[in-house]
Amino acid sequence: MQTSDGRSEKEKMLAGDLYDASAPEIQADQAAAKEWMIRYNAALALPPGERRKLLLERFAAVGEGAVIRPPFHCDYGYNISLGAGVFLNFNCVILDVVAVSIGDRTQIGPGVQILTADHPRDFAAREAGLEFGRPIHIGRNVWIGGGALILPGVTIGNDAIVGAGSVVTRDVPAGATVMGNPARIR
C-alpha cells in the first residue's frame, strides 16, 4: 500500500524515514522472520554449514565462514550483511529496520544487541505509532564484548574493541578501545 508520497511504508522504513510498523507488508515481513527464527534457533545442533544455508535464506549477505550461534533474534534479517569469518555468540539481537553491516573477522560476544530501530522525540509522532531507523556499520576485525549495546546510527571502525556491557552511543574510531555507559575511549 502506497502512502501520500507514493512510497510504501516498507520503502520509507528502508530509507530510514518515519514509517508505520503496523503496515501489512511490514507485518508480513516480521511474520516471515519469526518463522525463520524458529527454524534457525532449533538448528543449534546442526553443523555450521547447515546453519549457514539458513542464514543465506534470510540475510542480505553472508561471508564465507560466518557463524551465528543460536538463539539469535532479528526484526527482518534481509538488512543484515556479514563479512567472512564473522562470529556472533549466543543470544545476540539485531534490530535491522535498516542496514546492518558487519565486516570480516569481527567477533561479537554473547548477549550483544545491535539496534538500528529508533523512535521520534516528538510525542505526537510516537503516539501515532511512527518509528525510523539509522544504519549501523561495524568494521573488520572488531571485537565487541558480551552484553554490549550498539545504538542506532553508530559506526565502529576497523580493529576497534568495545568492552563488555558498554553502551555505544556514538561512532568509534578505527583501532580505538571504548568501554562504559556511555562508551568512551580508554
70: cis peptide before it, omega within 30°? no
**Positive or negative: CA dihedral 81, 121, 166, 71:** negative
User: How far apart (Å, rounded) are the C-alpha atoms in residues 168 and 24?
Assistant: 33
Residue 70 exposed, middle or buried by CB count within 10 Å (0-12, 13-18, 19+): buried
Instruction: Please identify which of the residues 34, 53, 119, 170 carries the catalytic annotation.
Output: 119
Based on the residue annotation, tell me whether 119 is a catalytic residue of this protein. Answer: yes
Catalytic residues: 119
